[in-house]
Amino acid sequence: MARSVAKFRRVRGEMAGAMPPAEPNRRITMSEDSVTESRPEPTTLVELCRYRASREPDRRMFAFLENGLEESDSLTLAQLDTRARAIAARLSRQAQQGARAVLSYPPGLDFVSAFFGCLYAGLIAVPAPPVLRVGVDDRYTRFRAIVNSCQPDVLLSNGSRLNRVDALLKDISAPCRPTSVATDEISETDAYGWNAPEIGPDTIAYLQYTSGTTGPPRGVELTHGNVLHNLSLILANGSRATDDLDRLPPVVSWLPVFHDMGLITGVLQPIYVGYDAVLMPPSAFTQHPVNWLRAISDRGAGISSAPGFGYELCLRRVSEEQLRSLDLSAWRIAVVGDEPVRAEMIDQFSAMLAPFGFRRAAFFPSYGIAESTVMLSGGPVEPEPVIRRFDAVALAKGKVQRAGREDEVRRLVGLGQVHPSMTIAVVDPATGDPCAPDETGEILASGPSIGAAYWNAPKETARTFNATVRGHEGRRFLRTGSLGFLDGGQLFVTCRVDDLIVMEGVQHYPYDIEATGAASHPAIREGCCCAFTVEDGGRTRLVVLAEINSRYRVMTEPVPDTPSGARATLAADEVEEAVREAVFAGHGLRADDILLVKAGALPFTTSGKLQRAECRSRYRARAFATV
């Protein structure tokens, strides 16, 4: 590590004439027991990328596995820098600094070059999902919301997709049609016309749109300083004193790069830390989850990240036979970021993969949101993930109490430590008053990783980014919208504020009710239930939506005999009663309305999160067709 620090200092001096001088930022040290010597930090992502390219121009930092198996494309650091300068030179002729550029690319490495091309031009990059046609699918809905929000000056894609992506703009109410640019058709000779933009730590680098779980996606303004601080924070939370940053194994990622976790994990963190990145399309994972594990095994990857549903999908669809040829002993950090992280998932995944080299201690639960770049808490790397037993009855009343032998137990996973550069407060979501240490409340956060605002949304910005907390005068806090508490140095997240179900003064988490409902009958798709409440004449009613597996046919009339080989036919009453009985037995709640809907009816975000607010809206509008 000391060798890396000295090398960075020496190289920065050599590059002083190659890029605009800048005052170094403060370096976040890795731990109290780690390196005390501090190296200057790059002040912009452009400076960071140019530094890497100047030191190891021929290093193949990025590789892409088109089908999740064979490498179909790669990108050296010199190629990345050249492509970024060429794209920037072209974009500078199309738009002024500070203009928005929407990036809508199919999975591949063209996005990486285009993203840095925007930064090299001083434009605000706006990652968006790849779409091909107008429709009601989640990707087009998100694309449309992003374009309507940021009103881009430029639309970037590759030549094979640009015409179709450009055609989608006809269905979008943007006042000015953006200029379309196929970045893969730009000649590298254009790089000679590049001029470094006048940017600094406070310049907006990109807009990271939220997942849209609880409302329409909103674009978080993230500056170069925000992002660099968060990259340094992630390194600090995820490193050990014995780590040699010159010999880190690669990262493997299937996460979409237009989301915060995928962009940081698969694109920016590799350049910041200096490890290679192996990327694959999300579909290569979702269709064959073993592809993810095989890539980790084949590449000897040390780091890989996924939301909880990624690990759950492996549990359901990866067989022991597929695992026999894998060696997962090099998997050092398995980041999992979710609300909540299930203790049972950690138990089951660790047990299933232990015979093939996976260590339970590799699990790295963390918590983050787009408004904080990505990570708010995480770590430490070792020992095993923190799972604590709390009194379930006390938690239902908003109290935090470790469980005794006779108590009803709820096992919660700690989502990591909070770095000293960040401040966390837990407050009453209604009054904003600080909670007592033994109370749950809304999690508020403050620190250099927090974005400044939502783009073009002053009301939402004022509500979300400008909270104040008694005892922290002069400090601006972000309202995360999540409920939780701090316990023994770990952050625990229990539920979204808007998703919490309160019945007769008792708090219930929708995840628990949904898991109970999904497990109540084999005809219900695993992970495809939604629980929420609605007000009806002053009375709170509990509603449960359940998707029916396509292998089953549900009828309200008398059930006929099922022919051999046909879909199993069930009575709707049978499935509804199973859900109702299970929810009452498991949670003491009466489900007032149970809707059985077809497979795929429930809305999920493009990052795999259930949109409970949208489910409630569709239910009220009677937009769900029952099976």
CATH no. for residue 490? 2.30.38.10
Q: What is the CATH number of the domain that holds 610?
A: 3.30.300.30
What order do you get walking across the sheet with 441-446 strand by strand? 423-427, 441-446, 478-487, 490-496
Q: Which of 503, 441, 443, 440 is nearest to 467 (CA)?
A: 443
pLDDT band at 408 (very low <50, low <70, confident <90, very high): confident
Coil, helix or strand for 204?
strand
More confident residue, 613 or 44: 44
Q: Distance of CA 218 to CAs 56, 101, 114, 144, 456, Å?
A: 37, 16, 22, 12, 9
Q: Are residues 505 and 454 in the same domain?
A: no
Q: For residue range 349-382, what is the model confidence (pLDDT) as tens digits?
A: 999 999 999 999 999 999 999 999 999 999 888 7
Q: Over range 598-610, report the average pLDDT.
A: 85
Q: For residue range 180-189, what is the model confidence (pLDDT) as tens digits?
A: 999 999 999 9
Paired tokens of 111: 């996005």
Q: Are residues 517 and 609 in the same domain?
A: yes
Domain end among 498, 533, 566: 498
pLDDT band at 23 (very low <50, low <70, confident <90, very high): very low
202: Cβ contacts below 8 Å, ≥ 6 apart: 223, 224, 225
Partnered with residue 492 across adjacent β-strands are: 485
Q: Can you say whether the dihedral through the CA atoms of 221, 148, 463, 438 is positive or negative?
A: negative
Whole-angstrom distance, CA of residue 258 vs CA of residue 131: 12
More confident residue, 173 or 198: 198
Query: What pLDDT, on a 0 to 100 scale, did the predictor assign at position 14?
Result: 35
pTM, 2 dp: 0.89
Paired tokens of 147: 């374009």
Q: What percent of the chain has pLDDT over 70?
A: 89
Query: What pLDDT, on a 0 to 100 scale, did the predictor assign at position 52?
Result: 95
Query: Of the ranges 12-16, 241-245, 380-384, 392-396, which one carries the lowest mean pLDDT score?
Result: 12-16
Residue 228 near residue 48 (C-beta atoms within 8 A): yes
Alpha helices (runs of H) in 408-484, residue ranges in sequence order: 458-465
233 phi/psi in degrees, rounded to 5: -65, -45
Domain end among 184, 199, 214: 199
Q: Over range 164-184, report the average pLDDT.
A: 80
Paired tokens of 523: 């005809």
Q: Over range 339-351, report the average pLDDT.
A: 92
Coil, helix or strand for 216?
coil
Query: What pLDDT, on a 0 to 100 scale, did the predictor assign at position 273?
Result: 93
Does 240 fall in a domain? no
Residue 414 near residue 492 (C-beta atoms within 8 A): yes
Q: Distance of CA 479 to CAs 425, 467, 541, Å?
A: 10, 7, 28
What is the enclosing helix (H) or strand (E) of 85? helix 77-94
Does 357 fall in a domain? no
Mean pLDDT, the chain, integer: 88
Query: What pLDDT, on a 0 to 100 scale, did the predictor assign at position 243?
Result: 66
Q: Are residues 174 and 147 in the same domain?
A: yes
Domain end among 463, 498, 533: 498
Does 56 fall in a domain? no
Does 9 fall in a domain? yes
pLDDT band at 337 (very low <50, low <70, confident <90, very high): confident
Q: For residue range 508-549, what is the model confidence (pLDDT) as tens digits?
A: 999 999 999 999 999 999 889 999 999 888 789 999 999 998
Q: Mind giving me the DSSP string for 513-526?
A: HHHHHHHT-TTEEE
More confident residue, 131 or 420: 420
pLDDT band at 566 (very low <50, low <70, confident <90, very high): low
Q: What is the CATH number of the domain that holds 153?
A: 3.40.50.980
Question: Can you point out the beta strands (E) in 433-538?
Answer: 441-446, 478-487, 490-496, 501-503, 506-508, 524-536
pLDDT band at 561 (very low <50, low <70, confident <90, very high): low
Q: Over range 290-295, report the average pLDDT.
A: 97
What's the domain count of the chain?
4
Q: Are residues 105 and 150 in the same domain?
A: yes
Paired tokens of 307: 């939301």
Q: Are residues 397 and 478 in the same domain?
A: yes
Coil, helix or strand for 12?
helix
Please check the confidence at residue 416 and state whether its pLDDT lies above 60.
yes
Query: What pLDDT, on a 0 to 100 scale, did the predictor assign at position 168?
Result: 77
For the chain, what's the residue count?
A: 627
Q: Can you say whether the dihedral through the CA atoms of 349, 352, 357, 359 is positive or negative?
A: positive
Does 605 fall in a domain? yes
Q: Are residues 478 and 548 in the same domain?
A: no
Query: What pLDDT, on a 0 to 100 scale, did the predictor assign at position 135?
Result: 65
Q: Are residues 508 and 489 in the same domain?
A: no
Q: Are residues 84 and 169 in the same domain?
A: yes
Query: What pLDDT, on a 0 to 100 scale, did the predictor assign at position 298?
Result: 95
Query: What pLDDT, on a 0 to 100 scale, did the predictor assign at position 176?
Result: 78
Q: Are residues 544 and 430 in the same domain?
A: no
Whole-angstrom distance, CA of residue 141 vs CA of residue 134: 9
Coil, helix or strand for 18?
coil
Please check the confidence at residue 567 and state whether its pLDDT lies above 70.
no
Instruction: Report the amino acid identity of residue 365.
Output: P
DSSP class of 372 = G
Domain that holds residue 505: 501-620
Q: Are residues 34 and 87 in the same domain?
A: no
- Orientation of helix 159-168 relative to helix 138-150, angle to 10°: 70
Does 437 fall in a domain? yes
Q: Are residues 505 and 590 in the same domain?
A: yes
Alpha helices (runs of H) in 301-453, residue ranges in sequence order: 308-317, 320-323, 343-353, 392-396
Whole-angstrom distance, CA of residue 497 vs CA of residue 499: 6
- Please list, residue by residue across 352-383, b when 16 or more beta carbons sit within 10 angstroms of its beta carbon and e when fewer do: bbeebebbbebbbbbbbbbbbbbbbbbbbbee
Whole-angstrom distance, CA of residue 444 vs CA of residue 167: 41
Whole-angstrom distance, CA of residue 246 vs CA of residue 252: 18
- Please list, residue by residue across 410-435, b when 16 or more beta carbons sit within 10 angstroms of its beta carbon and e when fewer do: bebbbbbbbbeebbbbbbebeebebb
Does 151 fall in a domain? yes
Please check the confidence at residue 469 and state whether its pLDDT lies above 90.
yes
Does 359 fall in a domain? no
Q: Are residues 525 and 563 in the same domain?
A: yes
